[in-house]
Amino acid sequence: MVDVDLVSHLIGDIYDAALDSALWTDVLEQTCQFVGGTAASLYSKEVVARQGAARYNWNMPADALTAYFNDHVRFDPVTVSQFFFQVGDIYSIADLMPYEEFVATPVYQKWAKPNGWVDHLAATLDKSANGFALFGVFRGERQGLVDDGMRHRMRLLVPHMRRAVLIGNVIDVHRAGSSALSDAFDAIGSCVYLVDRSGRIVFVNEAGQALCDSGTVLSRPRNVLTATDPHAARILRDLLVAANDGDSAIGVSGIAVPLLEQSDHGWFAHVLPLTSGARRREGRVHSAVAAIFVRKVSAYAPPPLETVARRYKLSPGEVRVLQAMMSVTGVSKTAAALGIAETTVKTHLQHLFAKTGVHRQADLVKLVAAHADPFRS
């Protein structure tokens, strides 16, 4: 049975960290203990460049982070499989590859096992053409593998973690050196609005005012913030009513509200309640129930490896072999990089040749390159 009051308090702390990054370490400790792990991290990976970085973490030794991102991320066998999950999805090692294969890989034998980690439950928080952002909790030997209870607890927090991370990408009061949200909002280029329950604007920064003046995405008739798209306008109205009742009431809605139905570049709104936690003070000062952050995001274009994998219906194992072959040549080097037997690589190769219609490893590499989008910057 989950303690409702504990979850509500934790969600409030997550949203406070959205505005003050100095709080993330404590929040990750709380979320890790609640979910059931020994270490936690907010981190990102780039599939094409095969690199990554930890943004915030708790109980992860500095040398372990350095070793992973310097030595192991390049050939981590789960990275490609992670990329194919959608935003909001939750997955453990067993969802990415057979667990018995994972424990034979160098990343487990040389990195995870020495650190006492046997499993990892992650959720995709954001995704772009080149990579993705994750919230991950590591499972220790005494805790065993990820179970249904851990997945359930993780699922309760992921929507709020996602909203907090997206908003934190826009504004950080701690880094801005400001004690008031409105002062910090004035100093950034993104569009920010503080609104009351009816949508009346009580504060708007310069970028937000310019967007309203353009009338393309948002407008402010009688000083009430509204979207030009009727469907988006209705969603925003409903979210503001929910925001008045606090963090839990807003739920999974409002994480990324699309403001235009048809557009090459998407405008999205992120709604943050100001009626709970440390944010309550700012809400009272301005008589606001929510802060609305608006950002413009380019249309998602999948990288060539994902395009090939989906087009030819490749299995996760086949994708891992194909990705490795973008960096090394030959069966033996591919097997060594992935920590699997050469016979396994040969089997995957046979399947790759059969599915794609090519007959050489070099042609597989060319096939991936041919699916690159020539218009992607």
Q: What is the pLDDT of residue 280?
A: 66
**In DSSP terms, which residues pair with 41 in a beta bridge?**
57, 136
Residues with Cβ within 8 Å of residue 223, at least 6 apart in sequence: 200, 201
Residues 140 and 198 in one domain: no
Q: What is the pLDDT of residue 178?
A: 44
Rounded-to-integer distance, Cα 222 and Cα 243, Å: 21
Let me know if residue 16 belongs to a domain: yes
The number of folded domains in the chain is: 3
Let me know if residue 377 belongs to a domain: no
Q: What is the pLDDT of residue 265?
A: 59
Low-confidence ranges of the chain (pLDDT < 50): 173-179, 264, 373-377
Residues 215 and 312 in one domain: no
Residues 88 and 50 in one domain: yes
Of 150, 159, 174, the residue nearest 56 (C-alpha): 174
Residue 156's domain comprises: 4-168
Q: Is the pTM of this model over 0.75?
A: no
- Sign of the four-CA dihedral 331, 307, 259, 216: positive
Residues 268 and 309 in one domain: no
CA 179 and chain centroid, separation: 28
Residues 42 and 142 in one domain: yes
Condensed to tens digits (0 to 9), the pLDDT of residues 161-188 reads 998 888 887 655 444 444 455 565 665 6
Angstrom distances, CA of residue 150 to CA of 32, 96, 154 = 10, 17, 6
Residues 227 and 335 in one domain: no
Let me know if residue 375 belongs to a domain: no
Angstrom distances, CA of residue 61 to CA of 26, 64, 111 = 16, 5, 12
Ordered DSSP codes for 210-274: HHHHHTSSEE-GGGB-EESSHHHHHHHHHHHHHHTT-HHHHTTTTSSEES-SS-SEEEEEEEEES
